[in-house]
Amino acid sequence: MAKAKTVFVCQNCGNESPKWEGKCYACGEWNTFVEETKITGKAKNSRPGTVLAERTKPMPVSKVSVEEMPRLSTGNEELNRVLGGGLVPGAMVLIGGEPGIGKSTLVLQTALNLPNVKVLYVSGEESPQQIKLRADRISGASADNCHVVSEVSVEHIIKHIENEQPDVLVIDSVQTLETERIESAPGSVSQIRECTATILRVCKDKHIPVFLIGHITKEGSLAGPKVLEHMVDVVLQFEGDRHHMYRILRSIKNRFGSTNEIGIFEMLGSGLREVSNPSELLLATQQKQMSGVAISAALEGVRPFLIEVQALASTAAYQNPQRSVTGFDLRRLNMLLAVLEKRAGFKLAQKDVFLNIAGGLKVNDPAIDLAVITSVLSSNMDMTISPDICMTGEVGLSGEIRPVTRLDQRIGEAAKLGFKSIIIPSYVKGVELNKYDIQVIKANKIEEAFKFLFA
């Protein structure tokens, strides 16, 4: 017999407590416990979409057939790259990002472009009329393969799945779903966990791939319990600045492919456009040479591209110098400035330093360290760096230039874009430098790179 009891659930990590507590001892957050009703007993197993035990039988892994489950192409090369080649039947893909970044646009554009595939688009935030207006703006033509419905009840969504028999399911968004078995409000930990688990069981049984759109918190992490990320097969993060036109689709978790892949898009009035060669767009065309600008051969995932690093060093107007960055780690900038002052002898303690990665990108590759310190030094001395020179290398605390990964791809990308010289770490192993039509300069210390650039 089913029983109902009251528990307090942390809205940050999903930890349960029999009484209200000010601080969650599991995650350390304050004032996150919310009272919810939990159903226990036999009713706990009477969930829609439960796979019957007699339908599944254990078998050797060598006899499991995967021939009837080919990957489904999304029609979007950038999205296919991030997914590992396309959608796997029965896979659940969670896409998170800031409000207004383009999550719904990306999924709807993908749904409209899927050829000969029936898509069920379930929206809990917009009406079918609003979805139709956005679809007309994106594609300009009606797509009969995409069926839209505005629904938040999981029980009703499962009925739509059984009636429509779609090939792909889209849920926008998971925070709006609710189930009758949980009495808490939509968006709570219990609702998100139970609704996702119910849809997961149904779609795994019917081999239907699912796109889940999720909100993120003010800290930038996916909203809801951490168990949500463990339940799904793929977690994608849609990043970018709303004031810039570039968007990056980054893989955080992928059970069917690599997490080192990224997809780059350009936000236009007609939707998202795939960027096949981001290097040409991220390099600004300048009429004249300017100080404080350096080009770095960066790597995002397994994809090399050249980015423009801009720096400005000026005398501090106040007692405490300012350190401001856009698209780079502030703590790493402070470390590199300390290396410049200690190892190279440049006094920057009383200078304001501002750093910007052009294009609104956020780059975590340590190989742009050399471009960061050379751009700061170029601005400080007001000396320009030749636009035909690019560089790559991680800078250590002793001022040495450390080796980087996939050096051959970085050099090849620079040679393809017409650069005449590239500065690389002196330690090179397994790379044939003679096959590239570009001058390769090896540098062991940052002083050697400075002598070549500012001689």
Of 426, 427, 9, whose CA–CA distance to 189 is shortest? 9
More confident residue, 115 or 272: 272
* Confidence bin at 283 (pLDDT 50/70/90): confident
58: its two tokens? 């254990």
Residues annotated within the binding site for ATP are 97-104
Q: Is the pLDDT assigned to residue 305 strictly greater than 70?
A: yes
Can you tell me the mean pLDDT for 268-293?
A: 79
The pLDDT assigned to 39 comes to 65
Q: What mean pLDDT, rounded, does the chain reach? A: 86
Residues 6+ apart with CB under 8 A from 378: 291, 292, 293, 294, 311, 384, 385, 453, 454
| Structure tokens that stand for 142 in this block | 């009606």
48 contact partners, CB below 8 Å, separation of at least 6: 154, 155, 158, 198, 202
Percent of the chain residues past pLDDT 90, beyond the cut = 51
Predicted local distance difference test score (pLDDT) of residue 61? 87
**Which residues are documented as binding site?**
97-104
pLDDT value, residue 138: 86
pLDDT at 288: 62
d(CA 149, CA 124): 9
Average pLDDT over residues 446-451: 94
Residue 398 has what pLDDT?
Answer: 93
In the chain the first and final C-alpha atoms are separated, in Å, by: 84
CA distance 451 to 377: 12
Per DSSP, what are the bridge partners of residue 33? 10
Give the predicted TM-score (pTM) of the model. 0.78
Q: Strand 303-315 vs strand 293-300: parallel, antiparallel, or unpaired?
A: antiparallel
- Tens digit of each residue's pLDDT (9 = 90 or more) over 390-402: 999 999 999 999 9
Torsion, CA 302, CA 308, CA 309, CA 312, rounded to 10? -170
Dihedral angle computed from the Cα positions of residues 164, 165, 166 and 169, in that order, rounded to the nearest 10 degrees:
90
- Residue 30 to residue 270: CA distance in whole angstroms: 43
Residue 42 has pLDDT above 60, yes or no: no
419 vs 11, residue with greater confidence? 419
SS3 per residue for the chain: CCEEEEEEEECCCCCEECCCCCECCCCCCECCEEEEEEEECHHHHCCCCCCCHHHCCCCCHHHCCCCCCCCECCCCHHHHHHHCCCECCCCEEEEEECCCCCHHHHHHHHHHHCCCCCEEEEECCCCHHHHHHHHHHHCCCCCCCEEEEECCEHHHHHHHHHHHCCCEEEEECHHHCECCCCCCCCCCHHHHHHHHHHHHHHHHHHCCCEEEEECECCCCCECCCCHHHHHCCEEEEEECCCCCCEEEEEEEEECCCCCCCEEEEEEECCEEEECCCHHHHHCCCCCCCCECEEEEEEEECCEEEEEEEEEEEEECCCCCCCEEEECCCHHHHHHHHHHHHHHCCCCCCCEEEEEEECCCCCCCCHHHHHHHHHHHHHHHHCCECCCCEEECCEECCCCEEECCCCHHHHHHHHHHCCCCEEEEECCCCCCCHHHCCCEEEEECEHHHHHHHHHC
Q: Flag the least confident range among 191-195, 214-218, 273-277.
A: 214-218
User: Any idea how long the chain is?
Assistant: 455
10 Å CB burial of residue 321 (0-12, 13-18, 19+) is middle
Instruction: Give one word for 406, left, alpha or beta, with left for phi > 0 and alpha for psi -120 to 50.
Output: left
Residue 386 reports pLDDT greater than 80:
yes
The token duo for 163 is: 């009636």
Contacts of 46 (CB under 8 A, 6+ apart): none
Q: Are 36 and 6 in contact (CB under 8 A)?
A: yes
Q: pLDDT: is 26 or 395 the higher one?
A: 395
The burial class, CB within 10 Å (0-12 / 13-18 / 19+), for 57 is: exposed
Using the predicted structure, report yes or no on whether residue 442 has a pLDDT greater than 90.
yes
* pLDDT (0 to 100) of residue 53: 43
CB contact at 8 A, 251 and 257: yes
Answer whether 360's CB lies under 8 Å from 244's CB. Answer: yes
**Can you tell me the mean pLDDT for 340-364?**
89
User: Mean of the pLDDT values across residues 74-80?
Assistant: 91
Amino acid occupying residue 215: H
Is the model's pLDDT at 119 over the cut of 80? Answer: yes
